[in-house]
Structure 1
Amino acid sequence: MVSPVVVGVDGSAESLAAAAWAAREAARRDRPLQLVHAWDWHPRQGEQEIANAAQRHLARRALRQAEDRVRAEFPRLRLTDEQVEGPAVAALLKAADEADVMVLGSRGLSGFTGFLVGSVALGVVAKATHPVVLVRAGEEAADEHLPAGDGGASTDTGYRDVVLAVDVHDACDEVIEFAFESARLRGARLRAVHAWHTAGPVGLGAGDIGLVQETWQGEEWLGFLQAVLQTWRDKYPDVEVLATVVEDKPTTALVRAATGAGLLVVGHRLAERPVGPRTGPVTHAAIHHVGCPVAVVPHV
């Protein structure tokens, strides 16, 4: 059985944007799309039947709205929907286990305050074992594409860059492969970014790339990044790759690098005993402050 692209929907503007993005991704990957609505309702004693009926009605309406949004753009896409009862995070994690990619919405905020990522989305990102993509409210198909010649929005132009965050000390195949495959599917350029700073060799040890007596230079970091990427360049010869090293804090560099991108890909290490919906600082910065869709790819 082919694993579907799964999207959580709840009738909100951000979940409808996520459904539309997920439909485009399912079409690119030639996979079915599954719409999932999770609800957890605890009515007072004696109101169970009425409350459940009301909740099913709301769920059906949310699913229908998402289906209408998807069908308007992809009338022939293989599409299923499902209502699941129980805590939303647990229900969506179960759905994600069967997914090729899980897609969720997050609400955009104005100014420099970043984005509001709900507890459900954070809980899924922190514990999912398959990639999760967060999509902002208001995301449109044209946002994935380069502007037209007159500067206007278009879906007929090429795709914007896929940006990949790479830590050359801990480069993970799952994360890199997801980024290369995403770029291949779009015919987009892949921009791999590694941030370095002059804090010295503290933290390097046995098994690291090497020990240094002096500050690493940008050229050296670029050489390591190119070496990490070479295997994947060979595997994906049609993907144009731009390797970039930046002297800055990783969180700052990543948010800046993702400006104008079509997709950002970051990794998330799965803790053996995670406590709460926690992510590392780079992933946290990405999902709260980057405007384009963010793919969080888990690894061990």
Structure 2
Amino acid sequence: MTITTTPASETSAQIAEIFAVARATGFLHAREIGVADGPEVTVGADDPVVLASVFKILVLTAYVRAVAAGELDPTARTTVTARYRIGGVGTAGFADDVEASWRDLALNMMSMSDNAATDVIYHRLGTEAVDRVIADLGLADTRLIGCCEDLFASVIADLGGTPDSHLDELFTGATAEQILALDAVQPLRTSHSTPRDVTTLLNALWTDTAAAAEACRQARDIMALQIWPHRLTAGFPGEVRIAAKTGTLPTWRNEAGVVTYPDGRRYAVAVFTRAASLADRQPLVDASIGRAAFAAVEALRTQTV
């Protein structure tokens, strides 16, 4: 049974109203974990969307695969150098070089969306390892342009900067038209996927088919430690466990993850939004992600399969 987003669908109308109130265009896919061909909620589920930092779930999957294969010792240490200090949270915003283990960098990558930690891991694994995750899981509508460094390089180039330019300064001097024209915010010109591909990835991680069982468990445990409570988490009651990853770029606010209810049923949900405004703070859009996800999951829970 498919819960569609037709005008006659109560769920569709509810989710559409949530996004409309937030002045955003929303894209959503929700499904129960481990239930093949089961009910789903779709709102533009096959439309291309900008991944932003949601792509880090792919990097995490490649990381736990490498650890399971003995290709990477998670306790070994590496140094995050000035090359990766592009600002933001975690090691990306540090003033000095920092030495950390690979497993601690993976934790930073997922828990706080540390861009420097992400890129150090990405470069250690190699592009081929991350692309192999996409191919192995049949994510036919998912493409990566590279890591955070590559994404920001495209933004700097689009804004007329040089490799030595400061990204924040370029943004400050840019017009709204220039920002809206960036490749980084156009789905088919940057790292992109679809909500359905993303829930396919999540389902594979939660059914031990994305990697070895222990590797998948490690990925799930890391994703459960994300610190941001303002999107998916804000939509669900406290007894629901959430393991997820956010993503943010100008106009785009996303989150994808798995919600686990006390009865043990689990649901993969991916929500991507594109706002009508370029404002840095958009609490209505953030909240709409959790509210839409909750409406979708509650619709799934009330269906008889």
By the TM > 0.5 criterion, same fold?
no
Quick check: which has more Rg, 1 or 2? Answer: 1
More helix by share: 2
TM (norm. structure 2) is 0.29
Structure with the greater relative contact order (CA < 8 A, sep ≥ 6): 1 or 2?
A: 2
